[in-house]
Structure 1
Amino acid sequence: MKIKNHINNRLAGVLYLTLLLAATSCGKYLDVTPENTGTIDYAFRNRNEAENYLFACYNTLQSLASNIDDPGFITSGELYKHSYDVTLNTRNFLLISGTQNTSSPILDYWTGQNGGKNIFQGIRRCNIMLENIDKPIDLTASEKERWMAEVNFLKAYYHFFLLRMYGPIPVMDRTEDISQPVEVFRNKRQPVDSVFSYITGLLDKAIPGLPPSISNINQELGRITKTIALSVKAEVLATQASPLFNGNPDYANYKDKDGVALFPGTADNSKWQRAAEACKAAITQAEGLGLKLYSFIVPPAIPKLNDSLRVLLSIQNAVTERWELNSELVWALNGVFSHQQNCIPRFSANGNYFNVPGDISVPLAIAELFYTRNGVPIEEDKTWDYPNRFAFKVAEPADRYYLKEGYSTTRFNFDREARYYSDIGFDGGTWFGAGVLKQEAMLYVAAKKGSLSGVQEYGYANVTGYWPKKLVHYMTAYNTDGGLQKTDFRMPRTRLADLYLLYAECLNEANGPSQEAYTYIDKVRARANLNGVVTSWQQYSSAPGKPLAKEGLREIIHRERRIELCFEGKAGWDLRRWKKYVSQVSKPIQGWNVMQSDQNAYYTLQTYLVPVISNKDYLWPLSGDALLTNDKWIQSPFW
């Protein structure tokens, strides 16, 4: 039984505490209901009750597993759902259309409204746990050390979650003392560097007491390890070093009501060196436990697998493989990705399109990010005909593992890197799996109207003509009734490729291009069957010297992260911390005219949404109610 089941089965044992804590979760976390001392004492009277409370501390973390409520996933611009959708709430997807507001913010994790969770409530549970950990007399010293370490990690992560969303936040380092005047525990939003230091201090306190890995997978998979904590510390420090938080001139005049500056006025490049050291420590820890980039192991159910398809499945399964079998997965939450039916095209003629809507779309701009087969951008490859990329071409036998042989589709889909074919489904593209495990009989996407995967009803339509194939397990298949039988997976929060590219980024920002930075970029590229970054640019790019300059390598690393980690909820945070969010996500959401059956008419570019975002969207707003709760808080910048 994993930790999620522990929570579900045992949370009833602390329901009385949850109800008390809920008094602070209704949009006013400082409206504190006095704790019943007897109730707290009962909750920590013995080891069993205290463990119940530990899992209550985890409960907020597990609630963050919903991708549709994940700000990094939903506001990345990587995925789009049109407003006519009838199978899944599109409100969050449409945040980029200018629907965010201050009266009732969408995904409000400050007060727990509109799809958000009250993160302050989770922090308060952690404080109560730490303040009462000495009470259970039958708790062993080793258990106490581990539990305290886990709770300190959770407390750090909850603060980090809020910091990425809101920037300056109040630090909750203790439970409110209700015997004091209310003004005493009305915390202010703290300067971001103070919050970052507080978070890393908690992580440093937690790391020594955490186990390196989980040995009892059936009972404890999902609990925090030293490897997870080190990887989060690396991400925290890289975020602190990034332009959004490190000397951002846009926030130079953002101060609290007492005139205290909430962002540093000048950039400190030494922060990148600290982040690089943290990345290397996390990588060393992970690799010391045997973690390595995932490589697909062909199961007996697959009679034969071409090397090209093996590469594709290595890339795809780095995300969709079961945690305990995934050599690359550092951390995932226990909730499964629950929207495969929205990401897969319709392949079954007998299927009910209401059951398999396939209506999460990939904008054309995201498809353009992926390299050519030579490992450089399509607009830079000297051998790739970029001006005529939307002309038509018929797939030949040499293309058969990526495109349906004899199928006519746009040249845009030809001669692309392996990650393009593993991550994205498109008209004429092959799809290994979905119930067919013979490579000679692979399914393919026929996306024009009237074709098998084409529009059946507009409310259930993929409107761009591109599907996020990466988010569908290859064993997810149609049953005899035409419905979808899903093979579940957990969306990674951190995997080794993420750490490799983050390390390369930090090294380059700290000291410029280096052989070590190239090495870690090239490790990730090698799995996609691409040559090293320097060699690829020298041989094929119209800008051959780009990897040799700090600014050029920065651009390459940013694109590598966007490609390698596409659809994994990373881009929404990366683009913000790089200060590229407005320039990148404001690009029009475009795709093909999926209501057409004729090839020429289908491949007519359509604009489905022009995003409405500006500098204010780098940080989330506070609601008016939250500001009324505490007169020391100020609104987020530009709201």
Structure 2
Amino acid sequence: MRSLIKIVLTIIVSISLYGCQKYLDVVPDNIATMDDAYKDRVSAQRALATCYNQIPRNGTRYDPGFAAGDDLWIHQFIDGGAQERWRQYYRELAINGNNVTRPLYSYWHNIEGGSALWKAIRDCNTFIANVHKARDLDSFEREKWIAEVKTLKAYYHFYLMQLYGPIPIARENIPATAPSEELMVYREPIDEVVAYIVQLLDEAIPNLDLEVDNSVSDAGRITRPVAAAIKTKVLVTAASPFFNGNQDYANMIDKRGIVLFNPVEDPNKWILAAEAAQEAIDIAHEAGIRLYHHQTTFNVSNETLGVIQVGQIIADKFNEERIWSLSDFNSSSPNLQDLGLELRTIPRLHADHQNIVYQWFIPTLKMAELFYSNNGVPIEEDVDYAYDDRMTLTFVPADQEAYMQPGYRTIGLHLNREPRFYGSLGVDGGWWFGLGRTDENAQWPLNLRAKSMTGGMIGNQRYSTTGYYIKKLSNYRSAYTGKDAYVGMRFDFPLFRLADLYLLRAEALNESLSSPDANVYHYIDLIRQRAGLSGVVDSWTQHSRFPQKPTTKEGMREIIHQERNIELAFEGQRFWDLRRWKKSIQYMNQPVRGWNIAGETPQEFYQVITHNRSQYTLRDILWPIMQDEMLRNTNLLQNPGW
């Protein structure tokens, strides 16, 4: 898909995704008539690319799901020039909260880090209404393109719904010459928004290809598995507590007297979501999509292979688990407007690296505590894990050599953890495989204390503010090659992968039953097996203080939630999951914690430091609509608290 867009943009004028744009941003040959804009296949393809080219930039600082949650933290730039160039929307949101004057991450208004999704929807409507005019476009390809655009239109509506809750439904474009009362649209009830999104996807799915013709040139194009995955996510979101019977918004009643949030829970929504998830899984399997298992030519142990596999699930560009992913936005080139995730997350491992890494997106201590013990259960539940001593200094024993440096002084929290812990996080006393070192016996050692090579600060910009790094979002085949020299393996950031669908299926099925059955355990156990862990029932029976936990609906709900947060850590999912589970206020108000990065000794470093963030209340969950928009359209109802 990105290749399609690149080809198209070499023909038309350069288009800014985040500046002011006209109603139709592709008018070929400078002829401002709709007939000429869709006169042939080439013209229609340009319009198709415009619809695609407005997909929100997941995995970047423009993505609230990735950057605005409680799993990451970032220091504040002191340098004015860097602050101006790399606007820290996520930090502004965390420190000051949002506002109605110029809302941050405003995907309604195309400002402050957001993009114009209503314009994207208008472009989709224009395409659907006019693509039949292309004289040399055969009916098969035309119907496929329409299906792709309907899927994009559904996705854009869903993205807005996640941010704002009830939204207007843009079934067709309103003519600019329409009476003013037609332009004064209303927000529609959540249930109607969901029904319309699902309708679009149901119309699209039969006409989509099962898989793309060319995995390189067509990467990112909408396929049947993509549309089915979006439908699953929509229905699971609609069935979740925030959107299903949420009485916190029972008073959201517009001037028509219409209740926008149904305060009565509908259990049947979980049944529909479970059915959609199974259908999406079946379609994905039919397309050859499978859980990824990394194979390497390097001579490494199973333990090291399990660690590097965690990152390769994301960073192996063409792995078989991906359902939908986006390229270009994660380029590793330091000369591009948006530096790649690797350079924003990896540490400096040598003095030659300090001018090339940026170390911006940093995991919090909360995430280090989240992962399971090596027995596959929460560390606070594990009967064999010394939970009360987790913050106590200790030396790394020889039997932990695969994951930590023997003899290094660390804390119990970093020992006896599951492989995904070591594959997702760079921790003090751990190893870093790759980045130029692929000999298992000569990995990069991590010392994250002050005045060490990988710890402390470089000036006031480049450092980990918590004493951890994200290892998961880098490809071990990328390499430092000399002073300020780096060769990155480009990868696409996943919007959907198969493990996500497996977890959504397990969640929806568990919620639709009175108690979990083997089908609920099945898909979670497949993911745990890949991670080197035993199944849920066996793990809890043998190692948890609550051995019956997986046998109850409530207990299994907790397990599924934690499994999602672990498996999909740092992939932009936690922010949305906490919101739909109605856990945002609970978790976003917890202290942002890390270690004392100014500490030079173990005793000094392992002191918990708390970082300040604004209080998170009910009003902060749904984004505000800009005040100017409310003045222009008095039929709109503002979200509570704004």
Aligned to 1:330, what secondary structure does the other structure show?
Answer: strand
Deviations 1:517-539 (A, max 9, x none): 01111111111111111111111
Matched, 1:309 2:308: no
Distance 2:636 2:185 in 1: 8
Corresponding residue number in structure 1 for 2:77? 84
Matched, 1:156 2:154: yes
Corresponding residue number in structure 2 for 1:22? 21
Corresponding residue number in structure 2 for 1:520? 523
Inter-CA distance 182–15: structure 2 relative to 1 (3 Å threshold): farther
Corresponding residue number in structure 2 for 1:535? 538
Q: Which AA in structure 2 matches 1:294?
A: Y
Corresponding residue number in structure 2 for 1:550? 553
Inter-CA distance 308–85: structure 2 relative to 1 (3 Å threshold): farther
Matches within 5 A, 1:38-437: 39-61=33-55, 63-65=56-58, 67-84=60-77, 88-299=86-297, 302=298, 304-322=299-317, 324=318, 326-337=319-330, 338-351=340-353, 353-437=354-438
Deviations 1:195-224 (A, max 9, x none): 000000000000011000012223311110
Distance 1:142 1:101 in 2: 47
Aligned to 1:22, what secondary structure does the other structure show?
Answer: coil
Corresponding residue number in structure 1 for 2:337? none
Cα distance, 1:458 vs structure 2: 3.7
Corresponding residue number in structure 2 for 1:438? 439
**Is 1:424–1:468's contact at 8 Å kept on the other side of the alignment?**
yes
Distance 2:534 2:465 in 1: 35
Deviations 1:245-294 (A, max 9, x none): 10101011111122210011200000000000000001111112222111
**Is 1:11–1:56's contact at 8 Å kept on the other side of the alignment?**
no
Distance 1:575 1:247 in 2: 16
**Is 1:14–1:53's contact at 8 Å kept on the other side of the alignment?**
no
Inter-CA distance 415–611: structure 2 relative to 1 (3 Å threshold): farther
Corresponding residue number in structure 1 for 2:333? none
Deviations 1:105-156 (A, max 9, x none): 0010001001110100000011111111221121101111101101111111
Inter-CA distance 626–344: structure 2 relative to 1 (3 Å threshold): same
**Is 2:59–2:571's contact at 8 Å kept on the other side of the alignment?**
no
Corresponding residue number in structure 1 for 2:499? 497
Distance 1:140 1:357 in 2: 49
**Is 1:379–1:386's contact at 8 Å kept on the other side of the alignment?**
yes
Distance 1:638 1:429 in 2: 45
Corresponding residue number in structure 2 for 1:562? 565
2:574 to 571, 595, 613: 571
Aligned to 1:220, what secondary structure does the other structure show?
Answer: coil
**Is 1:21–1:121's contact at 8 Å kept on the other side of the alignment?**
no
Distance 2:89 2:136 in 1: 49
After superposing on structure 2, the runs of 4+ consecutive aligned residues of structure 1 that deviate more than 6 Å are 16-21
Aligned to 1:204, what secondary structure does the other structure show?
Answer: helix
Cα distance, 1:14 vs structure 2: 5.2
Q: After alignment, is 160-169 or 66-75 more displaced?
A: 66-75
Cα distance, 1:359 vs structure 2: 3.6
Distance 1:394 1:522 in 2: 33
**Is 2:344–2:359's contact at 8 Å kept on the other side of the alignment?**
yes
Inter-CA distance 53–17: structure 2 relative to 1 (3 Å threshold): farther
Q: Which AA in structure 1 matches 2:567?
A: E
Inter-CA distance 350–315: structure 2 relative to 1 (3 Å threshold): closer
Q: After alignment, is 37-46 or 290-299 more displaced?
A: 37-46
> Which runs of 5 or more residues in structure 1 are unaligned?
27-35
**Is 1:335–1:490's contact at 8 Å kept on the other side of the alignment?**
yes
Q: After alignment, is 107-116 or 456-465 more displaced?
A: 456-465
Cα distance, 1:363 vs structure 2: 0.9
Cα distance, 1:623 vs structure 2: 0.6
Q: After alignment, is 551-560 or 394-403 more displaced?
A: 394-403
Q: Which AA in structure 2 matches 1:565?
A: L
Distance 1:618 1:420 in 2: 29
Distance 2:258 2:435 in 1: 57
Aligned to 2:634, what secondary structure does the other structure show?
Answer: coil
Q: Which AA in structure 2 matches 1:80?
A: W
Cα distance, 1:546 vs structure 2: 1.0
Distance 2:520 2:91 in 1: 35
Aligned to 1:484, what secondary structure does the other structure show?
Answer: strand
Distance 2:109 2:560 in 1: 36
Cα distance, 1:85 vs structure 2: 5.9
Q: Which AA in structure 2 matches 1:22?
A: Q
**Is 1:25–1:112's contact at 8 Å kept on the other side of the alignment?**
no
Q: After alignment, is 565-574 or 606-615 more displaced?
A: 606-615
Aligned to 1:428, what secondary structure does the other structure show?
Answer: coil
**Is 1:348–1:482's contact at 8 Å kept on the other side of the alignment?**
no
**Is 1:130–1:151's contact at 8 Å kept on the other side of the alignment?**
yes
Aligned to 2:241, what secondary structure does the other structure show?
Answer: coil
Matched, 1:625 2:631: no
**Is 1:67–1:73's contact at 8 Å kept on the other side of the alignment?**
yes
Corresponding residue number in structure 2 for 1:507? 509
Inter-CA distance 450–180: structure 2 relative to 1 (3 Å threshold): closer
Inter-CA distance 270–395: structure 2 relative to 1 (3 Å threshold): same
Cα distance, 1:328 vs structure 2: 0.7
Aligned to 1:196, what secondary structure does the other structure show?
Answer: helix
Distance 1:73 1:430 in 2: 25
> Which runs of 5 or more residues in structure 2 are unaligned?
331-339
Distance 1:212 1:563 in 2: 30
Deviations 1:167-211 (A, max 9, x none): 111111111123331212321000010000000000000001100
Distance 1:476 1:16 in 2: 31
Distance 1:209 1:441 in 2: 52
Inter-CA distance 490–341: structure 2 relative to 1 (3 Å threshold): same
Deviations 1:293-326 (A, max 9, x none): 1111113xx2x1101111112222111111x3x0
Corresponding residue number in structure 1 for 2:478? 476
Cα distance, 1:163 vs structure 2: 0.5
Corresponding residue number in structure 1 for 2:336? none
**Is 2:449–2:598's contact at 8 Å kept on the other side of the alignment?**
yes
Distance 2:24 2:127 in 1: 18
Cα distance, 1:25 vs structure 2: 10
Distance 2:289 2:632 in 1: 47
Q: Which AA in structure 2 matches 1:272?
A: W
TM-score of the pair, normalised by structure 1: 0.94
Aligned to 1:177, what secondary structure does the other structure show?
Answer: coil
TM-score of the pair, normalised by structure 2: 0.93
**Is 1:356–1:484's contact at 8 Å kept on the other side of the alignment?**
no
Distance 1:290 1:260 in 2: 45
Corresponding residue number in structure 1 for 2:450? 449
Aligned to 1:199, what secondary structure does the other structure show?
Answer: helix
Cα distance, 1:356 vs structure 2: 1.5
Inter-CA distance 610–81: structure 2 relative to 1 (3 Å threshold): same
Distance 2:633 2:89 in 1: 28
Q: Which AA in structure 2 matches 1:328?
A: E
Cα distance, 1:339 vs structure 2: 2.7
**Is 2:97–2:614's contact at 8 Å kept on the other side of the alignment?**
no
Q: Which AA in structure 2 matches 1:540?
A: H
